[in-house]
Structures are given as C-alpha cells and as structure tokens.
Amino acid sequence: MLQQEFHPIDGFSKVETQGYGLPLPSHIYAYGIDSIRPFADAERHPTNKSVWIAKSKQPWVELLVDISIISGCSVEMVFEASIIDCLTRPLIRFVFQDYFYDNVLPAPVRGKGTWTGHVPSEVKQILISPVDMPGPFGFRVISCYPIGKWRKTQRALKYHPFSISWAAVQRVAGYSNKARRRLQRAWGATPLSAHQNWLTSRTRVLEWNGLDAPRTAEAPHLRVILIDGTAEQEAEVVDVLAGQPRSEWSVLRASTGTTVQQLVEDRDPDDFLIVLNAGDAIMPEAPAVFAEMHARNLADLYFADELDSNCGIPRFKPDWGPVLSQSIDILGSACFYRVGWLRTRVGERTIGAFRPVQLSSDDKIVHIKRLLVACKAVTQMRAPPALPTMDIPACSIIIPIRDHHDLLRQCLDSILSNVKNVRFEIIVVDNDSTEAETTKYLLDISREPRIRILHAPGPFNFSALCNAGAKAAQFDMLVFLNNDTKVLSSDWLEKLTAWARRPDIGAVGAKLLFPNDKVQHAGVALGLHGTAAHFEAGSSPDSIGYFGRLEVPHELSAVTGACLVIERSKFDLVEGFDGVNLPVEYGDIDLCLKLQERGLRNLIEPRARLVHLESASRGNTVPPEIRYKDETAYFKQRWFSVIRNDPYLHPALSIETTEAALG
C-alpha cells in the first residue's frame, strides 16, 4: 500500500466545501456528477459535465459518501476514467483532524478500476487525485460500499492463500497493522495467469459523447497498413474504427514485398502509419488515444501496449529504453511511425522486413500506456549488446563497515582473487568497529598496498561513509560495495565500468543473488510496497523475468547501493549521497533518482553477478518503513511523483508485490 505518512494539513485546505451544499449519499450506485465535487485545482468542464479541468499536476476532488458508514471498514470502490487520458494510478487521500495520508489506487486500465482497501477510523474527509498532469480529464466514482469479511478474503484466498494464513497468524499475535498490510497486498495483486477476468473487470463501454469525448480538434492522418490481409479482414478493421469519433484515418492492404517508400510517397510527412499483420486486431479507441497523445507529445514514433492474441495476456511495457531495445523488441506491432521520419530510416526496404528500425538517441519516442493492438506477441530476445571496447578505467572500491570482519574477509578475498585486469584500490571506511577480531583484521589487510583503511567515527551514517570514501578516492571510477557481497567472476568490473563511462548513463548496478542462487536484486522499482523494492526478487536462476529483463542490460529508475558504479563527475553533479535526510535508508535510490532528474539513465547489467547476503551486517528483522520512519517520510515526500508512476513499471502492474502481477 503506497502510503504517505501523516502530513500536517495546515495551508492545504485552500478550498473548503466551496458552497456546493450537495447531500452526502450513504452509497454511490449511479452514474452522474454527484459522486465527486471539486476540492483543489480541479473544476468542471464548461460544456461537458463528464469532464474536469486539472489546474495543476495534482488536482483533488472530494468523494461524496457518508463517511460514518465506511469509517473503520474494508470497502470496495469502483471508479471510471476516460480512455483517452494518460493512464496513471489515482491517489486517495484520507484527511484526519490534524494530518492526512495518501494511498495509490489501481490504474483504470481500460477505463475502469476497482480498489479494495481499508478506510481508517476517525477519517474526516476523503479526497481523490485522478491524474498527474494539468488539462482535461474524465473521472467519476460509481460505487463505494463496505464489504464483509468473506467478501474481502474470497479473492485473496483464490490467489494468495499463503498471505491469508500469515495475516491470520499476525492478527492473533496482535500485529493488526502488519496483517492489514499483508491483506492489502493480497487484494492488490492478481497473477498474470488470471488476466482474463482481471481485464474484463477493468473494461467499460466507451462513451464518445461523454467521458471519452475527444478534446483535440485536429490530428495527423493515421493510415493502418494490413500486410497480406484479405478483403474481409480489411473490412473488419474498417468496421472497428468506424465506431470511434476521429475521422483522420484510413486502411490499406499491402503485400509483404511492397516497399515502405511506395506506401508513403503520397502521404504528408506528418502523417502516421501503423503496420499490422494479417490476423492482428486494432482496438476501436486507437485513433482517438493516438490523437490525444500526439497533441501532448510531438514524437517520431509512438509505441503502445499489446494484447497477446495467442493467450490473451496483456503486455504492459516499460517506457522506452535504448539499451533494453538492443536485446528485447519492446516496440512490437503497436507502433505509430511518422511518415517523414520513416522515409529517412527505411527507404526502399519492404514493409515486411523494415522492423526493427534502426533508432538513434535523437529520435523522439513516446510510450502510450494503453492496450491498442491484439497480436501474436512474443518476447523476442536478441543477443545482449557487446560492451564498448575501450581502456578499462582504474577503480576505487569503497566498502563501509562496522565490525563483522568475517563478512569483510569474504568480500575482500573474492575481489583480490577475481579482479585481474583492472587497476584498483579498496577503501575500507571503518565506522567505530569495536570487535577485537575486526581490529586485528584491519591491521593485517592494511599491509596490502591496494587496501586503505579510512577511519570515520561517529553515529552510523551509511550515506556519509560512502561520501567520505568517495572524497578519499584517488580514481575517478567509484565502486560502492557492501561488505556482505561476494564477487563471482573476474570480469564484473569490466562489464559495469564499460556502461558507467557512457556520457548518458548515471549509476550502474549488478545482478545480485542469494546464496541459493535465487535473484536478490535485478533492479529497483519505485512504488513497490509503498516506497521502493527489488522487482522480481526471489525469481529462480533460470527465469528470464518480465520482458526478459532479468537477463539483459536495461534502463530502470534505480539500483541498489550494495553494488553501484558511477563516475566521480556524475556523483559530484548530484552532490553524492544525502547524509542529512537519508543517513541509512533510501540513500542509494535517492542518488539514482537525482541522476535521472538530471537526464542521465540508470542501468542494470545482469551479466555482472555477485552474491549478496542482504543486510547481514545490519539485520533485517524490522521493516525499513518502521525502523527508519523519518527517512521514509522524507523519501516519499521528495520522490512521490516517481513512486506513484515509475516510468519502468507500467501503472497496470501491481505495486503490492515484487512479482510481476496485475494491479
């Protein structure tokens, strides 16, 4: 459950009841404008009462429901949003006498969403922020009502019986809050195998004169190319698109051998093409969704999500990553190409052989987070890109410690025995170790010319220790390493530093394994479990992961500081780790997000592998959000927009589990 802890409301309620005087119904069952009313930075559209206008990135509407009925209860809330809006996870805010906190709702994937959750006792007001950008948006609440114990556990029992059992044990033991969080995760994660019922429950009838009314007056012409299709298939596509309100489209059959140049020679350079194979299906809302996205983002290429016609599983893609695209075809069939751009890239190549198109860093590519094409989709994996050939830079390996000489010994031995082709130094940053064995071991290793001991006394501050090590480093390639890691191969530094030297790459991380070879870290996803977590942690060694990302280098928002490589200039650009606000927890993720904010892309390189015992030196019995409450609150406030919508974790995916599941 994404929860923003206890913020004071002073200065927030700039709009009170606004004099609406509307009744507060006990339950909301019918469509209409009475389910919500404006609260802050939101107003109704002057002509279309189904549509709102957001005045900021976080508009708020008030839910009109008798709070006394649902306070302290588990509820089920059904809401609907416009299909032509950018897909995002809405926020729900529970306002109390002196504070409030926010939860994230599931994204209304095909115009409809359902949230099952707990309404706290003594809540005074319930607000919803449906979108995260200014402009028109469509949203309404259909129903919100209490549900009984059987109703709320029925779905969880079907998919997550283990969670229900553990929640029962925790409740009996007196840990009611832990039990509630575990139940929330069970409610909010549907296995990919249950996609059919899940997608049906998130689909509604399109309303082109109401909620889904077009807002863009003009749009580029969209030509749908059907490769080797029959006349009947062409007619089916025409029939599908004829029911939507946009008129700037056409359908054309073409053979596999037709050149792209022949198809575009009579088209305006700003027209767009989408190429479908015979048997593929385009969703009826595709032209309207494309037109609205194009009005917001002028791009050369748009790619959308796909429905796998072989099995019906939706393919919810991450945002564009040029490194990932070298190994995985994330574009697929749901691509909208600008004609002028396509002419310069494809030329005389045939329509059946022009993909994958050669892309460059100058191309403007935008992800449309909507299911717009049903096709025979597969995760097409290519050989991972070859590492750049260049001189291997000298590295400063920085390892903060406090005692636990046994872990440090294992870590250092693995480095000294494996790293052969890289010039390096090791800086052990000692924070007040007191064990006699550790003192003796530090004295012994200080005789090794490549190892320096940097004493950093004072309260444990992991971020400050890392910064101190970076300041003392003599080389410009910084390698931050936990003492509970173990190097597995001789070329791990070569792999990581090759990426870190690229001017467009910020931090680079490795694939970390548990001692049983299961995945401990293959990248951090924001929003998981309320703040951030390791996506697909616990996966088996032979799993390729969601979109094959466990096996190939790819972009992501953050990597763990247990093994993080970065150039000094980029480290200094964002002023290193935040030792003031994040002394122990979230400092590594904060560092990565600061790099991303500066336009640098963070990367995971799964071909570099280490064993990680995960918090062996600190222990992990208490959840970070409890043990480091102040740091958690700061991190959520600083990065809440990314936590709400990580660009590399599709909003349709669940944030209640580290597994790839539907939200």
pLDDT in tens, 130-145: 999 999 999 999 988 8
Which helix (H) or strand (E) is 76 found in, with range?
strand 74-81
Q: What is the pLDDT of residues 579-613, one digit of tens each?
A: 999 999 999 999 999 999 999 999 999 999 999 99
Tell me, rounded to whole angstroms, the distance of Cα 18 from its chain centroid: 36
Task: Tell me how far apart the alpha carbons of residues 514 and 516 are, in angstroms, rounded to a whole number.
Answer: 5
The vertex-73 CA angle with 70 and 79, nearest 5°, equals 60
Q: State the pLDDT at residue 22.
A: 41
Rounded to an integer, the average pLDDT of 104-129 is: 94
Q: State the pLDDT at residue 104.
A: 92
Pick from 498, 496, 520, 518: which is nearest to 509 by CA? 496
Cis geometry, peptide bond prior to residue 356 (ω within 30 degrees of 0):
yes
Average pLDDT, the chain: 89
Q: State the pLDDT at residue 264.
A: 87
Which of 297-311, 372-386, 401-415, 454-468 bottoms out in mean pLDDT, i.e. has the lowest? 372-386
Say yes or no to pLDDT of 149 above 80: no
Which of 178-192, 254-268, 637-651 bottoms out in mean pLDDT, i.e. has the lowest? 178-192
Q: What is the pLDDT of residues 499-522, one digit of tens each?
A: 999 999 999 999 999 999 999 999
Say yes or no to pLDDT of 616 above 80: no
Which range, 150-159, 195-204, 622-631, is most confident?
A: 195-204
Say yes or no to pLDDT of 157 above 70: no
Q: 382-389: long-range contacts at Cβ-Cβ below 8 A with a sequence spacing of 24 or more?
A: 382/326, 382/327, 382/328, 382/329, 383/327, 384/326, 384/327, 384/551, 384/552, 384/553, 384/607, 385/323, 385/326, 385/327, 385/553, 387/494, 387/495, 387/498, 387/499, 388/498, 388/501, 388/502
Task: Tell me how far apart the alpha carbons of residues 375 and 306 are, in angstroms, rounded to a whole number.
Answer: 7
Task: Report the CATH number of the 222-375 domain.
Answer: 3.90.550.10
User: Tokens for 100?
Assistant: 């409030």
Instruction: Kindly give, in sequence order, each residue whose CB lies less than 8 Å from that of residue 222, ignoring residues fewer than 6 positions away.
Output: 246, 248, 249, 250, 271, 272, 273, 274, 286, 287, 290, 291, 336
Pick from 79, 88, 51, 55: which is nearest to 214 by CA? 51
The phi and psi torsions of 238 (rounded to 5 degrees) equal -60, -45
Which of 160-169, 271-280, 484-493, 539-548 bottoms out in mean pLDDT, i.e. has the lowest? 160-169
Rounded to an integer, the average pLDDT of 223-238 is: 96
Q: What is the pLDDT of residues 394-415, one digit of tens each?
A: 999 999 999 999 999 999 999 9
Q: What is the pLDDT of residues 182-223, one digit of tens each?
A: 666 667 788 898 899 999 999 999 999 999 999 998 999 999
Q: What is the pLDDT of residues 299-310, one digit of tens each?
A: 999 999 999 998
Task: Tell me how far apart the alpha carbons of residues 87 and 495 are, in angstroms, rounded to a whole number.
Answer: 36
Query: CATH for 7-200, among 1.20.210.10, 3.90.1570.10, 2.60.40.1180, 2.60.120.260?
Result: 2.60.120.260
The phi and psi torsions of 405 (rounded to 5 degrees) equal -65, -25
How does residue 356 score in pLDDT terms, banded at 50, 70 and 90? low
User: Tokens for 305?
Assistant: 């999500």
Task: Tell me how far apart the alpha carbons of residues 84 and 216 are, in angstroms, rounded to a whole number.
Answer: 11
Domain with CATH 2.60.120.260 in the chain: 7-200
Which residue do the tokens 């009475």 mark?
Answer: 34
Please state, for a pLDDT cut of 70, what percent of the chain lies above it.
87
Which of 105-109, 339-343, 533-537 bottoms out in mean pLDDT, i.e. has the lowest? 339-343
Domain with CATH 3.90.550.10 in the chain: 222-375, 395-644
Say yes or no to pLDDT of 353 above 90: no
Q: What is the pLDDT of residues 4-13, one digit of tens each?
A: 444 444 333 3
Q: State the pLDDT at residue 632.
A: 94
Say yes or no to pLDDT of 271 above 60: yes
Task: Tell me how far apart the alpha carbons of residues 40 and 16 are, in angstroms, rounded to a whole number.
Answer: 9
How does residue 156 score in pLDDT terms, banded at 50, 70 and 90? low
Task: Tell me how far apart the alpha carbons of residues 429 and 21 are, in angstroms, rounded to a whole number.
Answer: 63
Task: Tell me how far apart the alpha carbons of residues 567 and 354 are, in angstroms, rounded to a whole number.
Answer: 38
Q: State the pLDDT at residue 1.
A: 37
Asked if 522 and 534 count as a contact pair (C-beta separation under 8 A), the reply is yes
How does residue 318 score in pLDDT terms, banded at 50, 70 and 90? very high
- Predicted structure pTM score: 0.91
Q: What is the pLDDT of residues 14-49, one digit of tens each?
A: 333 333 334 444 455 444 457 899 999 999 999 998
Say yes or no to pLDDT of 66 above 70: yes
- Letter string b/e over residues 490-514, b meaning 16 or more CB atoms within 10 A of that residue's CB: ebbbbbbbbbbbeeebbbbbbbbbb
Which residue do the tokens 């280490």 mark?
Answer: 610
Q: State the pLDDT at residue 34.
A: 74
How does residue 470 score in pLDDT terms, banded at 50, 70 and 90? very high
Rounded to an integer, the average pLDDT of 57-68 is: 93
Rounded to an integer, the average pLDDT of 320-326 is: 93
Strand, helix or coil at 207?
coil
The phi and psi torsions of 569 (rounded to 5 degrees) equal -60, -40
Give the strand pairing for 60-63 and 99-104.
Answer: unpaired
Asked if 96 and 6 count as a contact pair (C-beta separation under 8 A), the reply is no
CA distances to 32, 117, 141 from 35, rounded to whole Å, are 7, 19, 6
Instruction: Kindly give, in sequence order, each residue whose CB lies less than 8 Å from that of residue 578, ignoring residues fewer than 6 positions away.
Output: 463, 587, 590, 591
DSSP letters spanning 490-535: TTHHHHHHHHHTSTTEEEEEEEEE-TTS-EEES-EEETGGGSEEET
The phi and psi torsions of 626 (rounded to 5 degrees) equal -100, -45
Rounded to an integer, the average pLDDT of 611-617 is: 76
Q: How many CB atoms lie within 10 A of CB 68?
A: 9
The phi and psi torsions of 384 (rounded to 5 degrees) equal -55, 150
Beta strands in 318-380 (DSSP E): 335-338, 365-375
Helix, strand, coil abundance in the chain, percent, nearest 5: 25, 25, 45
Rounded to an integer, the average pLDDT of 428-452 is: 97
Pick from 434, 589, 450: which is nearest to 507 by CA? 589
Q: How many residues does the chain have?
A: 663
CATH superfamily of domain region 395-644: Spore Coat Polysaccharide Biosynthesis Protein SpsA; Chain A (3.90.550.10)
Task: Tell me how far apart the alpha carbons of residues 523 and 115 are, in angstroms, rounded to a whole number.
Answer: 27
